[in-house]
Structures are given as structure tokens and as C-alpha cells.
Amino acid sequence: MRILGIDYGRAKVGLAIGEGSLAEPWKVVKPSEVKKILEEENFEKIIVGVSEGEMAKESKEFAKKLGAETFDETLSSQDAQRLSIESGMNRKKRKNMEDAFAASVMLQNYLDSKHIN
């Protein structure tokens, strides 16, 4: 099953792809580009990460527009940052891809919780 994980943000959106039981960072795009990507790519499921507060409300609205499921992404950005630092990735690449890494962490947590293979 091919699943798209989304870390929603007002200015940029991190995307990750899950195939089988593993999620991997894909890319970072503007929110307006997501719909076009969904038209071009074939995903069986879309998961939008939801954090806390006002962004949670916006993320849920974004997910609803896409017909996507939501999943708790609390602390996924911090986990992604820590993992990319531990991997030795340089600061510029970490900064450019941090939203995709956060989407990947959230999607991996989703896959693990659902025991998807």
C-alpha cells in the first residue's frame, strides 16, 4: 500500500511516502502544490499529521479538504530534528528537509500503530 504522509504548515508542507512498513521523507512543497501532486501520483491513503492548538484546527481542515485521515504528530518535528542531527546530516540539508523528515516520523508512527506491512 502506498501512503502519503503530510506535515502541514501554512508556508510549507512536508511530504513522506510509506510503502510497506517503512516511511521515508520525500520532499517539501507549498500548500497550494499538494492537490496537483495528488492528481499526478497514486496514493491509496493520505495521512495528515495533527499537532496542538490553532495548527491542529488548520491541519484538520486541510485533511478534510483532501479526504485524508489525521494522526497525532505531537513531537514529530523534534524527533525528526534529533534523528537528522544524530545521522550527521549537514545543517543546510536538515533545514531544507525538516518538514519532510517530520512527515516521515509521523507516518512511521502511524504505520507502526496500525502494524502495516
Residue-wise pLDDT tens digits, 55-81: 899 999 999 999 999 998 875 566 666
Q: What is the DSSP string of 38-74?
A: HHHS--SEEEEEE-SHHHHHHHHHHHHHHT-EEEE-T
CATH number of 2-114: 3.30.420.140
- At residue 47, φ and ψ (nearest 5 deg) are -120, 125
Place of cell 534529533: 82
pLDDT higher than threshold 80 for residue 22: yes
Residue type, 10: R
For 30, counting Cβ atoms within 10 Å of its Cβ (0-12 exposed, 13-18 middle, 19+ buried), the class is: exposed
* Domain layout of the chain by residue ranges: 2-114
User: Are the CB atoms for 3 and 47 separated by under 8 Å?
Assistant: yes
* pTM of the predicted protein model: 0.86
